[in-house]
Homo-oligomer: A and B are copies of this chain.
Amino acid sequence: MARFQINILGCGSAKPSTRHLPSCQVVDYRDRLLMIDCGEGAQQAMCRQRLNFSRLTDIFISHLHGDHFLGLPGLLATLSLQGRGGSINVHLPAEGMEVLRSFVGWTCRDFGYDIRWNALAIEQQTVLDLPGMTVEAFPLYHRVPCLGYIFREKPKQRHLRGDMAKWLEIPVAQLRAIKEGADYVKEDGTVVPNALLTTDADPSVSYAYCSDTMMDPRVAEAVKGVDTLYHEATYLSDLEASARERGHSTAQQAGIIARMAGVRQLIIGHYSQRYRDVTVLVEEAKREFECVLAADEGMKIDLL
Q: Which of A21, A78, A108 has the most CB of B within 10 A?
A: A78
Residues of B within 8 A of A73 (CB): 66, 70
**Is A227 on the interface with B (CB-CB < 8 A)?**
no
Residues of B within 8 A of A96 (CB): 106
User: A43 to B66, Cβ gap below 8 A?
Assistant: no
Task: Given A66-B73, A74-B66, verify A18-B106 contact (CB < 8 Å).
Answer: no
Task: Given A66-B73, A102-B99, A106-B99, verify A82-B40 contact (CB < 8 Å).
Answer: no
Residues of B within 8 A of A148 (CB): none
Minimum CB distance partner of A46 in chain B: B16
- Determine how many copies of this chain the complex contains: 2
User: A74 to B40, Cβ gap below 8 A?
Assistant: yes
Residues of B within 8 A of A71 (CB): 40
User: B47 to A16, Cβ gap below 8 A?
Assistant: yes
Q: List 14 A-B contacts (CB under 8 A).
A: A15-B78, A15-B81, A16-B46, A17-B47, A18-B47, A22-B74, A40-B40, A40-B44, A40-B74, A66-B73, A66-B74, A70-B73, A96-B106, A99-B102
Chain A residues at the B interface, C-beta cutoff of 8 Å: 14-18, 21-22, 40-41, 43-44, 46-48, 66-67, 70-71, 73-74, 77-78, 81-82, 96, 99, 102-103, 106-108
Considering the complex of A and B, which 8 residue pairs feature the smallest CB-CB distances, nearest first?
Answer: A103-B103, A16-B43, A40-B74, A70-B74, A66-B77, A99-B106, A41-B41, A16-B44
